[in-house]
Amino acid sequence: MPVKLGREVLAALVTAGVCAAAVAEPVVADPPSTAYAEILPAPVSARADRGGFTIDRHTTISAGPGARGVADHLAGILRPSTGRPLPIVPAGRRGNTIALTMDGSDGPRERYRLDVNGRGVTITAGRADGLFAGVQTLRQLVHGHTVPAGNVTDAPRFAYRGAMLDVARHYFTVAQVERYIDELVQYKISVLHLHLTDDQGWRLMIDSWPRLAAVGGSTAVGGDPGGYYTQAQYRAIVEYAASRFMTVIPEIDMPGHVNAALAAYPELTCDGVAPPLYTGTGVGFSSLCVPKEITYQFLDDVIGELAALTPGPYLHIGGDEAHATSRADYVTFMNRVQGIVAAHGKRVQAWHQIAAATPLPGTVAQYWGTTNAEVAAATGVVLSPANLAYLDMKYNDRTPLGQDWAALIEVRDAYDWDPGTYLPDVPSSAVRGVEAPLWTENLRTPDELEYMAFPRLAAIAELGWSPASTHDWDAFKVRLAAQAPRWRAQGIDFYPSTQISWR
Ligand code: ACM
């Protein structure tokens, strides 16, 4: 290797009277890469060194015990992008390898360390979820065939870093949901909340009540095509997410937002008359019949099947906008349904209105207000303030898609708040994390989802992962700008906010 002279050395030679032209073919040293300052979400610490590692046709991926799945995931990304064969070999290989190593130590979940030097890349973690997080960081460091030298030490601020997709107002296929999962996990999103049911559609086959999907799933907003997931398809989504260390939290919204169910089964209404299927965008007009015993038999069946399909600990039971349910009925209902969820071995997540009932220990309230004054008195809180974290809100008054009832949300608005201190009456110890919901009343295609999610999803992802000490809009703008070439390569149709100097 020729010794490379840095700019500062050349400048010193010039200053010392040595003509720059006399220095034969000066090869300018690669300065430490800026790539380590562009990792998004920002890591706990990162340092760039000079030099780097080149992925060539002899490079291997070496995987220790338990790391094989992550190695397959990495190979699936790097083989097409580099054109290198990257065979996966057992641990122990030294030199010219990307080593995924489990060190067997405890410590925070998803913790990892990444080291890059001229001989290779090493990602070390206590568990496979940390290796996976480290792989997402590595993906952002690879440019062409090279990985700049340096190291990263990292762990998440919050375990819950969520994104919600409303597949009820518009139906999205399994492949479309899986594409969104892949877009999310690269920013270390750890929870996919699926809003499976609403007035306009019921999207999961419940074998004991098949008309829910067959009839209630036949519609979508505006007369667009309906659809539903068979249980096998739904399991495929859950497994696809799990293989990427993402937990699916399914939501069956109740006692309101149930017109599709009532249209399918008239016995669930108080008067026994089925309403027509609904394809508008109103809210707050439907309710399960709280005094009728069949309501709880129905919910026991639905929740039982859903619990059996759900490896994660939480089921989301909605509880928002129950304007067609009296307050007394609402409290009775939410308390009884929490018991049904518990009887099936699961814990409850619900929109923060559940605080009006008696949240069981372990119930998580998801805050979606806009005032930060409504207190969510639950043992855990997930923050999705509608005026900051709702990805379906327009960016500005010219945004062709989305809604504006909560706010116009530019990139800086989505980024510039602190989930740890946002609710004055909720201690930061009760904050489990953040979630970016994407409601689909007027979003119909994956392109439209991507335009609303990107770039703001990256802002919410960073609020969930990065230490509060890294919070800095000017630095975030640089990190975000660096994502644009990756989004273009992935075919993500993002909103090119003028707040950012895109690459
Ligand atoms: C909600 O936006 N109704 C939770």
Among 94, 122, 154, residue at a domain's last position: 154
Tens-digit pLDDT profile for residues 61-108? 999 889 999 999 999 999 999 999 999 999 987 899 999 999 988 888
**Which CATH number belongs to the domain containing residue 122 in this structure?**
3.30.379.10
Please check whether residues 93 and 127 belong to one and the same domain: yes
Please check whether residues 101 and 208 belong to one and the same domain: no
Among 126, 154, 182, residue at a domain's last position: 154
Position in ligand 1 atom list of the atom nearest CA 386 = 2
Residue 19 domain-assigned?
Answer: no
Residue 6 domain-assigned?
Answer: no
pLDDT of residue 327: 97
pLDDT of residue 349: 98
CA–centroid distance, 491 to ligand 1, in Å, is 29
CA–centroid distance, 366 to ligand 1, in Å, is 10
pLDDT of residue 13: 33
The model's confidence at residue 41, banded by pLDDT at 50, 70 and 90, is: very high
d(C-alpha 224, C-alpha 442), whole Å: 11
Residue 11 domain-assigned?
Answer: no
Binding-site residues, ligand 1, Cβ < 6 A: 320-321, 351, 368
Most confident of 9-18, 19-28, 256-265: 256-265
Strands 314-318 and 347-351: parallel
The answer to whether the CB of 114 falls within 8 A of the CB of 86 is no
CA–centroid distance, 390 to ligand 1, in Å, is 9
Position in ligand 1 atom list of the atom nearest CA 368 = 4
Query: Which protein residue has the closest C-alpha to ligand 1 atom 2?
Result: 368
Among 133, 154, 175, residue at a domain's last position: 154
Please check whether residues 148 and 197 belong to one and the same domain: no
Residue 115 domain-assigned?
Answer: yes
Interval 279-306 mean pLDDT = 98
Interval 252-261 mean pLDDT = 98
Q: Ligand 1 pocket test: which of 368, 384, 392 has the largest number of ligand atoms within 8 Å of its C-beta?
A: 368
Please check whether residues 127 and 213 belong to one and the same domain: no
Residue 375, pLDDT above cutoff 80: no
CA–centroid distance, 363 to ligand 1, in Å, is 18
DSSP 422: S
Comparing C-alpha atoms, which of 185, 184, 228, 244 is closest to residue 450? 184
| CB-count burial class (<10 Å; 0-12, 13-18, 19+) for 397 | exposed
Residue carrying structure tokens 């220790």: 64
pLDDT of residue 8: 35
pLDDT of residue 105: 81
Query: Which protein residue has the closest C-alpha to ligand 1 atom 3?
Result: 320
Residue 8 domain-assigned?
Answer: no
Residue 261 domain-assigned?
Answer: yes
Q: Ligand 1 pocket test: which of 194, 251, 281, 320 has the largest number of ligand atoms within 8 Å of its C-beta?
A: 320
pLDDT of residue 317: 98
Helices (H) and strands (E) in the chain, counts: 15, 17
Annotated catalytic sites, by residue?
Answer: 321
Comparing C-alpha atoms, which of 348, 293, 364, 285 is closest to residue 322? 285
Tokens of 217: 């799933």
Position in ligand 1 atom list of the atom nearest CA 283 = 3
Tens-digit pLDDT profile for residues 410-443? 999 999 999 999 998 888 899 999 999 999 999 9
The model's confidence at residue 377, banded by pLDDT at 50, 70 and 90, is: low
Residue 277 domain-assigned?
Answer: yes
The answer to whether the CB of 275 falls within 8 A of the CB of 286 is yes
Q: What are phi and psi of 349, to 5 degrees?
A: -115, 145
Residue 369, pLDDT above cutoff 80: yes
Please check whether residues 79 and 52 belong to one and the same domain: yes
d(C-alpha 20, C-alpha 353), whole Å: 71
The answer to whether the CB of 265 falls within 8 A of the CB of 274 is yes
Please check whether residues 164 and 150 belong to one and the same domain: no
Residue 493 domain-assigned?
Answer: no
Please check whether residues 146 and 208 belong to one and the same domain: no
Comparing C-alpha atoms, which of 392, 388, 337, 339 is closest to residue 367? 388
Task: Confirm whether pTM is higher than 0.85.
Answer: yes
Number of domains in the chain: 2
Q: Ligand 1 pocket test: which of 317, 321, 366 has the largest number of ligand atoms within 8 Å of its C-beta?
A: 321
| CB-count burial class (<10 Å; 0-12, 13-18, 19+) for 342 | middle
How many percent of the chain have pLDDT more than 70?
A: 93
**Which CATH number belongs to the domain containing residue 282 in this structure?**
3.20.20.80
Residues across the chain: 503
Tens-digit pLDDT profile for residues 218-238? 999 999 999 999 999 999 999
Please check whether residues 227 and 298 belong to one and the same domain: yes
pLDDT of residue 3: 34
Please check whether residues 304 and 320 belong to one and the same domain: yes
Provide the domain limits for residue 303.
160-470
The model's confidence at residue 7, banded by pLDDT at 50, 70 and 90, is: very low
Long-range pairs of 295-302 with CB within 8 A, sequence gap ≥ 24: 295/268, 296/336, 296/337, 296/340, 298/209, 298/265, 298/268, 299/254, 299/337, 299/340, 300/340, 300/343, 301/206, 301/208, 301/209, 302/206, 302/208, 302/209, 302/212, 302/252
Position in ligand 1 atom list of the atom nearest CA 257 = 3
Half-sphere exposure of 204 (CA within 13 A, CB side): 27
CA–centroid distance, 351 to ligand 1, in Å, is 7
Position in ligand 1 atom list of the atom nearest CA 390 = 2
Mean pLDDT over all residues of the chain? 93
The model's confidence at residue 29, banded by pLDDT at 50, 70 and 90, is: low
pLDDT of residue 97: 98
Please check whether residues 261 and 363 belong to one and the same domain: yes
Interval 356-373 mean pLDDT = 91
If phi over 0 gives left and psi between -120 and 50 gives alpha, with beta otherwise, what is residue 310?
Answer: beta
| CB-count burial class (<10 Å; 0-12, 13-18, 19+) for 221 | buried
Tens-digit pLDDT profile for residues 178-189? 999 999 999 999
The model's confidence at residue 373, banded by pLDDT at 50, 70 and 90, is: low
The model's confidence at residue 26, banded by pLDDT at 50, 70 and 90, is: very low
pLDDT of residue 374: 65
* Helix, coil or strand: residue 389: helix
CA–centroid distance, 319 to ligand 1, in Å, is 9
Please check whether residues 149 and 232 belong to one and the same domain: no
Please check whether residues 124 and 97 belong to one and the same domain: yes
Residue 313, pLDDT above cutoff 60: yes
